[in-house]
C-alpha cells in the first residue's frame, strides 16, 4: 500500500481572540423573555464571540461552507425586499433584491447571488465534485433543483445559482432532508405531505418511492400539527440510513428500498423534528472501530405548535437522547441538559465535542412562535462520565430563534447567523426582529492560552500547486507534517476529517466527523516539526466521497483545517 506525502496551500488567517464579554449583556431593544442560566457567569474559558458583519443584507436561514472557504447563505425569496440588490442591477418578477450571498470567511466580505425560486424549506448536500445541490422549497420552488458550482467557475466573482428545469424533482418537497450516499447519489426524503423519497441525479421520468414509515408517525390528525418535517438522516458505517421523524426511528436499506429495522422511540415524550425542532448529530466516528452513536437534543412537547398559535408557549425539552447502534438491542439513554432548548443547532467540533447553540426555551419553530431565547451555548463532551458532559459557554447578546443557523469553518470557529425572517424583513414593533448579522463563536480551544499547543499543518512532499486540493483513495496511507511549539505526546495527536454541512431549521444535513487511524507520530526536522502517518477511511460508508476539512488536533487543540478530497477519482 503506497504512502503519499503532500503539501497544502497555506492561507492562514490571524484571528483576534476575544477573551470574554464583560458582565451580563442586556437584551436588545424590544426583546422580551431574555433568559440566561441563573448561576452562569461569562468566563475566559467559556468561549468568546466576535461580530463579523452587522448586516449581510439577508437573514441566514440556510448555510453551506464550500471547499476553499466561501460560505453560501440564503434566506427566502418570498420574504420581500431584502437589504442588498441583485447582482448587475438586474430585477426578477418579484423585486430587485437578492436573497442569497456568497460570504468570504477569511475577510467577512460578501456579494449578492441570484435565486429564481423560493427556497423556503429547501434541503441541501455538497456533491462529491464540490457542487452544492439545493432541492425543493416553497410555492414556485417546491420542485426546484438548484446548483452552485464555485470550483469549476472561471472566476469566483462570476459564479451564481443555476436552476435545473428539464428534469425537476419527482414530487414537490418543502421541509425535506438530503443525504449524500456512498456511491455519490443524494437521497431526498420526506417533506410537507410527502410520504416518499427519491434520488438525485434523477433518471428521466422516474417516480418517488413510497415510505410507509412517515405515514404512521404523524400527530397531524390528533393535534393539527405536521410533526415529521425535516427528518434527521444519518448514514451509518454499514451503509444503512438512520431515519428519525417525530419521535420514531427506522433503519432504511437504500439499496433494497425498504426498512429493515425499527428502533424504540425516545422515551421522554417530546417531539423532535420540525416544527418541534430538536437537533441531532452522529457523534464523531473513530477508526479503526467506528461504533456509531446518535445524539438528539431539545425539542418540544406534543401540542406546542398549536399552543403557540394561541399565545401559550410551552416549555421546551431539557433532555437529550443518546443511542449506541452497534449494540444488539440498542436503547436510548436520557441525559438532562442544563436548560431547555428548541430550535437549537448542534455542531460537531473537530475535538469530538458537540456545540449546542441558538434557540429558545419555550414555544416552537416559526416566526414569533417562541419565547425566552437561549443565549448561552452548551458544550457536550461525549468522552466524560454521564452527568458531567455538559458545560455552559459564554453568551451572545443576540437572540437566535426561528431561521437561525450555525456551521463550523476551517478556523475551528462556529459561524452563526439569522433569526426570525418575517415577511418584509421586520426590524421593529415585533417581539423578535429579523436579524441580518453574521457572528462567530470561538470555542474554548481557540483561547490564546492554548496557542503553544495549537498545531499548524505545514504539508510534506509532493510538490502540489497551491490551488490544488489533495485527493485521497480509500484505505490509503498518508503522511503529513505539522509544527507545534509545545509538543505533549504522540498519543495526544489526532487527525480528523469534518464534512461541511448544509444547515437550516436546526438540521445539519450530511454533518460528519471521522477521526482517522493514526499509524505513527514522530519528530522531524526542524525540532518543532512532526510527521503523522494516518490511514484514510476504508470505505465510502465511513466517509462518503467528496470534500472534507482536515484538522490536526493536538492535546485537544485543533489546527486550522486544510481541504482534501476523498474518493471518486
Residue 247 lies in a domain: yes
Give yes or no: residues 493 and 441 share one domain. Answer: no
pLDDT class for 293, splitting at 50, 70, 90?
very high
pLDDT score of 398 more than 90 = yes
Residue 53, CA atoms < 13 Å, CB-side half-sphere: 24
Give yes or no: residues 109 and 230 share one domain. Answer: yes
pLDDT score of 311 more than 90 = yes
pLDDT score of 9 more than 70 = no
Question: What is the overall mean pLDDT for the chain?
Answer: 88
| Domain endpoint, select from 446, 479, 509 | 446
Kindly state the percentage of the chain with pLDDT values over 90.
76
Give the list of residues 6+ apart from residue 276 with CB closer than 8 angstroms, or none. Answer: 227, 246, 270, 299, 300, 304, 305, 342, 364, 365
CB 165 within 8 A of CB 146: no
pLDDT score of 224 more than 70 = no
pLDDT at 219: 58
Mean pLDDT, residues 286-311? 95
Residue 293 lies in a domain: yes
Give yes or no: residues 552 and 527 share one domain. Answer: yes
Give yes or no: residues 101 and 190 share one domain. Answer: yes
pTM of the model: 0.91
Question: E strands of 349-476, at which residues?
Answer: 354-357, 360-363, 370-373, 378-380, 390-392, 405-408, 414-417, 438-442, 456-459, 471-472
Q: Please write the tens of the pLDDT for every residue from 343-389.
A: 999 999 999 999 999 999 999 998 889 999 999 999 999 989 988 99
Number of domains making up the chain: 2
pLDDT class for 425, splitting at 50, 70, 90?
confident
Q: How far, rounded to the nearest angstrom, does the alpha carbon of residue 118 sit from its chain's CA centroid?
A: 21
Residue 88 lies in a domain: yes
Give yes or no: residues 428 and 455 share one domain. Answer: no
Give yes or no: residues 417 and 511 share one domain. Answer: no
Q: Please write the tens of the pLDDT for every residue from 448-484.
A: 999 999 999 998 533 322 345 789 999 999 999 999 9
pLDDT at 295: 98
pLDDT score of 327 more than 90 = no
pLDDT score of 165 more than 80 = yes
Give yes or no: residues 438 and 374 share one domain. Answer: yes
pLDDT score of 252 more than 90 = yes
Q: What is the CATH number of the domain that holds 535?
A: 2.60.40.10
| Domain endpoint, select from 428, 446, 464 | 446
Kind and range of the H or E run holding 519: strand 517-523
pLDDT at 462: 37
Q: In terms of pLDDT, which residue wins out, 425 or 422?
A: 425
Q: How far, rounded to the nearest angstrom, does the alpha carbon of residue 32 sit from its chain's CA centroid?
A: 28
Distances (CA, A) of 101 to 60, 145, 161, 431, 548: 9, 18, 10, 27, 22
Residue 319 lies in a domain: yes
Residue 223 lies in a domain: yes
DSSP 28: P
User: What does the alpha-carbon distance between residue 126 and residue 545 come to, in Å, rounded to a whole number?
Assistant: 10
CB 427 within 8 A of CB 30: no
| Domain endpoint, select from 431, 446, 461 | 446
pLDDT at 44: 58
pLDDT at 467: 44
Residue 20 lies in a domain: no
- Lookup: cell for 448: 490564546
User: What does the alpha-carbon distance between residue 528 and residue 518 come to, in Å, rounded to a whole number?
Assistant: 19
Give yes or no: residues 403 and 530 share one domain. Answer: no
Give yes or no: residues 264 and 364 share one domain. Answer: yes
User: What does the alpha-carbon distance between residue 262 and residue 252 come to, in Å, rounded to a whole number?
Assistant: 9
Q: What is the CATH number of the domain that holds 377?
A: 2.130.10.80
Residue 29 lies in a domain: no
User: What does the alpha-carbon distance between residue 541 and residue 527 come to, in Å, rounded to a whole number?
Assistant: 38
pLDDT score of 24 more than 80 = no
Give yes or no: residues 188 and 264 share one domain. Answer: yes
Distances (CA, A) of 156 to 63, 164, 172: 18, 21, 31
Residue ranges making up the domain that contains 63: 48-446
> What is the 3-class SS of 218-251, one letter each residue?
CCHHHHCCCCCECCEEEECCCCCEEEEECCEEEE
pLDDT score of 40 more than 80 = no
Give yes or no: residues 468 and 440 share one domain. Answer: no
Give yes or no: residues 108 and 155 share one domain. Answer: yes
Residue 8 lies in a domain: no
DSSP 464: -
* Residue of 497, 507, 501 whose CA lies nearest to 548: 497
Q: Please write the tens of the pLDDT for every residue from 71-127.
A: 999 999 888 899 999 998 899 988 899 999 999 999 999 999 999 999 999 999 999
pLDDT score of 31 more than 50 = no
Amino acid at each position: 500500500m503506497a504512502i503519499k506525502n503532500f503539501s497544502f496551500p497555506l492561507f492562514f488567517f490571524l484571528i483576534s481572540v476575544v477573551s470574554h464579554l464583560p458582565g451580563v449583556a442586556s437584551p436588545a431593544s424590544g426583546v422580551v423573555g431574555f433568559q440566561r442560566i441563573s448561576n452562569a457567569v461569562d468566563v475566559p474559558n467559556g468561549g468568546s464571540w466576535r461580530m463579523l458583519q452587522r448586516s449581510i443584507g439577508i437573514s441566514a436561514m440556510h448555510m453551506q461552507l464550500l471547499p476553499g472557504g466561501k460560505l453560501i447563505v440564503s434566506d427566502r425569496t418570498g420574504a420581500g425586499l431584502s437589504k442588498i440588490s441583485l447582482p448587475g442591477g438586474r430585477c426578477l418578477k418579484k423585486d430587485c433584491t437578492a436573497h442569497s450571498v456568497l460570504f468570504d470567511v477569511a475577510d467577512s466580505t460578501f456579494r449578492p447571488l441570484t435565486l429564481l425560486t423560493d427556497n423556503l424549506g429547501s434541503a441541501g448536500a455538497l456533491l462529491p465534485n464540490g457542487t452544492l445541490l439545493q432541492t425543493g422549497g416553497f410555492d414556485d420552488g417546491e420542485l426546484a433543483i438548484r446548483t452552485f458550482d464555485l470550483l469549476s467557475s472561471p472566476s469566483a466573482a462570476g459564479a451564481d445559482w443555476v436552476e435545473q428545469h428539464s428534469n425537476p424533482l419527482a414530487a414537490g418537497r418543502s421541509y425535506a432532508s438530503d443525504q449524500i450516499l456512498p456511491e455519490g447519489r443524494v437521497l431526498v426524503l420526506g417533506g410537507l405531505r410527502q410520504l416518499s423519497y427519491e434520488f438525485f441525479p434523477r433518471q428521466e421520468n422516474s417516480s418517488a418511492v413510497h415510505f410507509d414509515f412517515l405515514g404512521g408517525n404523524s400527530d397531524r390528525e390528533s393535534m393539527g400539527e405536521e410533526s415529521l418535517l425535516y427528518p434527521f438522516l444519518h448514514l451509518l458505517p454499514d451503509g444503512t440510513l438512520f431515519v428519525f421523524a417525530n419521535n420514531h426511528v427506522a433503519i432504511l436499506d437504500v439499496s433494497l428500498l425498504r426498512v429493515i429495522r425499527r428502533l424504540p422511540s425516545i422515551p421522554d415524550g417530546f417531539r423532535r423534528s420540525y416544527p418541534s425542532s430538536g437537533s441531532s448529530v452522529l457523534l464523531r466516528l473513530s477508526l479503526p472501530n467506528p461504533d456509531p452513536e446518535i445524539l438528539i437534543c431539545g425539542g418540544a412537547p406534543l401540542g406546542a405548535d398549536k399552543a403557540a398559535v394561541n399565545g401559550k408557549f410551552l416549555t421546551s425539552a431539557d433532555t437529550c437522547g443518546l443511542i449506541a447502534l452497534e449494540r444488539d438491542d440498542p436503547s436510548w439513554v436520557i441525559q438532562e441538559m442544563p436548560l431547555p432548548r428548541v430550535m437549537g443547532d448542534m455542531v460537531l467540533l473537530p475535538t469530538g465535542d458537540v456545540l449546542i447553540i441558538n434557540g429558545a426555551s419555550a414555544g416552537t419553530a416559526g416566526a414569533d412562535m417562541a419565547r425566552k431565547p437561549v443565549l448561552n451555548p452548551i458544550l457536550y463532551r461525549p468522552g466524560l462520565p454521564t452527568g458531567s458532559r455538559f458545560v455552559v459557554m459564554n453568551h451572545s447578546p443576540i437572540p437566535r430563534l426561528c431561521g437561525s443557523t450555525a456551521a463550523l469553518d476551517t478556523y475551528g470557529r462556529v459561524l452563526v447567523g439569522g433569526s426570525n425572517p418575517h415577511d418584509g424583513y421586520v426590524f421593529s414593533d415585533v417581539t423578535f426582529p429579523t436579524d441580518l448579522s453574521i457572528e462567530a463563536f470561538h470555542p474554548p480551544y481557540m483561547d490564546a492560552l492554548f496557542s503553544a499547543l495549537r498545531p499548524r499543518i505545514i504539508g510534506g512532499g509532493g510538490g502540489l500547486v497551491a490551488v490544488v486540493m489533495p485527493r485521497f483513495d480509500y484505505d490509503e496511507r498518508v503522511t503529513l507534517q505539522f509544527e507545534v511549539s509545545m509538543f505533549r505526546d504522540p498519543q495526544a495527536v489526532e487527525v480528523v476529517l469534518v464534512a461541511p454541512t448544509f444547515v437550516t431549521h436546526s438540521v445539519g444535513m450530511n454533518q460528519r466527523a471521522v477521526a482517522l487511524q493514526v499509524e505513527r507520530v514522530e519528530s522531524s526536522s526542524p525540532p518543532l516539526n512532526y510527521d503523522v502517518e494516518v490511514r484514510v477511511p476504508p470505505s465510502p460508508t465511513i466517509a462518503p466521497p467528496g470534500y472534507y476539512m482536515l484538522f490536526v488536533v493536538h492535546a485537544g487543540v485543533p489546527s486550522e483545517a486544510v481541504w482534501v478530497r476523498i474518493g471518486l477519482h
